[in-house]
């Protein structure tokens, strides 16, 4: 089973990270899910693949009633992001799933219909969690052509999807980045191959540099906190990505 760890709690608002399943098969990429709860309602980011649904679902049950989850947020269309959708809908058919407008007719191949999927316009949009406001922030082409992130201005947390992802070895499996220089070696290859566009990368770096972010929470790897957030953005801005780094 995965572990549930509260990473932010203030009043009625909490963020819980679901991560690090010691029983996970090595052939599926490790993922982080985040549950944001305000009052009695929750939203779950990038719920993961059908392969890991039982591990995610049981970890969530240790912290909240899973029926409090009213919606899912899918940063993009990948199987490690949202192929569990059909299983989530078996559990609660009234769930809604926010995703880029580009993917609203592709993701139903994993389950759901035109009522389930809520298309986010290219420029992003506010998403309500009860009385609490979250914002879908565009990060297109990083790596998906329709790619969204989720910002919480109160908690100062940006859920960044695949941006910031690192493929950690078993002996560097911490939840928060401890040693940036060591950690970033595990992120370099991923960003060079999966992030195809220098223009999109620089556009994103400029957008998020002006935002107030205390934690940058990726879908793979560890969380960047405090000064490591700007360190990551600056590192990414300088990193050669895409075709210029591609070797056959
Ligand atoms: Fe992806
Ligand atoms: Fe991913």
Give 97's strand partners. 72, 117
pLDDT computed for residue 77 by the predictor: 98
Secondary element (H or E) of residue 133: strand 132-138
> Angle 198-209/227-238 helices, nearest 10 degrees?
160
Q: Which ligand is nearest to the CA of 29?
A: 2
Could you check whether the bond before residue 25 is cis, i.e. omega within 30 degrees of 0? no
Residues whose Cβ atom is located within 5 A of ion ligand 2 = 80, 162, 219
Whose CA is closest to 142, among 81, 99, 201? 201
Per residue in 68-116, pLDDT (tens digit) is 999 999 999 999 999 999 999 999 999 999 999 999 999 999 999 999 9
Per residue in 106-155, pLDDT (tens digit) is 999 999 999 999 999 999 999 999 999 999 999 999 999 999 999 999 99
Q: Structurally, what CATH architecture does the domain formed by 157-248 represent? A: 4-Layer Sandwich (3.60)
The two structure tokens encoding residue 148: 């969204």
Q: Structurally, what CATH architecture does the domain formed by 1-120 represent? A: 4-Layer Sandwich (3.60)
Secondary element (H or E) of residue 237: helix 227-238
Å from CA of 143 to ligand 1 middle: 6
User: Which part of the chain is CATH 3.60.15.10?
Assistant: 1-120, 157-248
Å from CA of 113 to ligand 2 middle: 23
């Amino acid at each position: 089973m995965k572990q549930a760890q509260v990473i932010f709690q203030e009043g009625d608002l909490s963020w819980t990270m679901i991560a690090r399943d010691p029983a996970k098969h090595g052939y599926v990429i490790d993922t982080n899910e985040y549950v944001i709860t305000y009052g009695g309602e929750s939203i779950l980011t990038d719920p993961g693949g059908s392969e890991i649904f039982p591990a995610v679902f049981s970890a969530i049950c240790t912290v909240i009633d899973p029926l409090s989850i009213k919606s899912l947020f899918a940063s993009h269309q990948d199987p490690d992001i949202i192929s569990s959708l059909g299983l989530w809908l078996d559990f609660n058919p009234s769930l809604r799933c926010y995703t880029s407008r580009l993917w609203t007719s592709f993701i139903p191949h994993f389950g759901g219909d035109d009522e389930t999927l809520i298309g986010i316009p290219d420029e992003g949009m506010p998403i309500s969690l009860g009385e609490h406001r979250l914002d879908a922030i565009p990060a297109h082409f990083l790596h998906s052509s329709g790619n969204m992130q989720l910002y919480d201005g109160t908690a100062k947390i940006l859920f960044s999807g695949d941006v910031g992802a690192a493929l950690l070895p078993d002996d560097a499996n911490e939840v928060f980045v401890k040693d940036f220089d060591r950690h970033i070696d595990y992120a370099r290859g991923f960003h060079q191959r999966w992030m195809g566009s220098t223009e999109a990368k620089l556009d994103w770096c400029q957008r998020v540099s002006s935002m107030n972010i205390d934690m940058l929470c990726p879908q793979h790897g560890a969380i960047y906190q405090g000064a490591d957030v700007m360190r990551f953005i600056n590192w990414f801005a300088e990193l050669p990505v895409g075709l210029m780094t591609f070797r056959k």
